[in-house]
Amino acid sequence: MTDQEFDIIDELYFVTSFTDLQKQTGLPTEELIRVLTGLIGKSYVKCLFPDQDTEVPFDGEHFELHHAAYFFLASKAGLLAHNTTL
């Protein structure tokens, strides 16, 4: 797990909006999108859209266009990977 991935998962113990996640990590938009896409691909992060209660399958094109409206939550696998990283 990269430092960026670790920092993102660290913020996703609770549902977090894209905007809040960007503020907390300080990552530029394009970089945050890239790292989140990788974490979602590993099943470490769940996508929620259009509200924080609705989990949706990842759609890269939709995410690129509407990333600011998404919410995220670390999955059990993501939390396990985060907590076993030294």
Model confidence over 5-14: pLDDT tens digits?
Answer: 999 999 999 9
Strands 45-48, 16-17: pairing is unpaired
Per-residue tokens: 81: 């990977």
Residue 86 has pLDDT above 70, yes or no: no
Taking a C-beta distance cutoff of 8 angstroms, is the pair 31, 23 a contact?
no
Going by C-beta distance under 8 Å and a sequence separation of 6 or more, which residues neighbour residue 37?
A: 58, 60, 63
Its pTM stands at 0.93
User: pLDDT of 29-74, one tens digit each?
Assistant: 999 999 999 999 999 999 999 999 999 999 999 999 999 999 999 9
Q: Which single residue is written with the structure tokens 């549902």? A: 15
Contact 15, 72 (CB under 8 A): yes
C-beta atoms surrounding 35 within 10 Å: 18
